[in-house]
Amino acid sequence: MSATLSTEQMIAAGREMAEAWRVMDWRKVADMFAADGVLHSMMVEPIVGREAVYKRVAGLGDGLESITLNIHHMGVIDGILYMERTDEFVIRGKAGSAPVVGVLEFEGPLIKVWREYYDRAHLLKAMGLAEDFDGKTR
């Protein structure tokens, strides 16, 4: 059984994840997940497995010039990390942003499940996309 993270360690992991996104280190993002970890944008089917997570985030990085996960509030309730944020990005010269709530469950020091709650239509419009990238990044 893996050791349980403290509240402070979970919050530090949330900040480490946000920094990995800011520097667009997709390998680091994926490596923060358990081997069988899940990334689930709640309006599409979950991405399962560290390498599938890598394929998704690296695919999202295509055309991405910058991204910042601006954390407004972050805390731990019942052993789960909650992160309210606004993601600001520039993709193919188009600036956009989307409000998001991320919910992260840990297994030892690694992310077991990361659920993302946001308005998908808003995100796609902010990214300047006419069609969803979901199928292309699986």
Please give the single-letter amino acid code of residue 21.
W
Global confidence as pTM:
0.92
Q: What is the mean pLDDT of residues 27-52?
A: 97
What is the token pair recorded at 64?
């991405």
Q: What is the mean pLDDT of residues 63-68?
A: 95
| Residue pLDDT, tens place only, 83-134 | 999 999 999 999 999 999 999 999 999 999 999 999 999 999 999 888 888 8
Q: For residue 72, is pLDDT > 60?
A: yes
What's the first-to-final CA gap in the chain, in angstroms?
30
Arithmetic mean of pLDDT over the chain: 94
* pLDDT the model gives residue 129: 86
d(CA 117, CA 99): 9
d(CA 124, CA 122): 6
* pLDDT the model gives residue 117: 97
* pLDDT the model gives residue 1: 39
Least confident range of 1-10, 32-41, 43-52, 119-128: 1-10
| Residue pLDDT, tens place only, 102-114 | 999 999 999 999 9
Closest CA to 78 of 109, 99, 106: 106
Q: What is the mean pLDDT of residues 66-77?
A: 98
Q: What is the mean pLDDT of residues 4-26?
A: 97
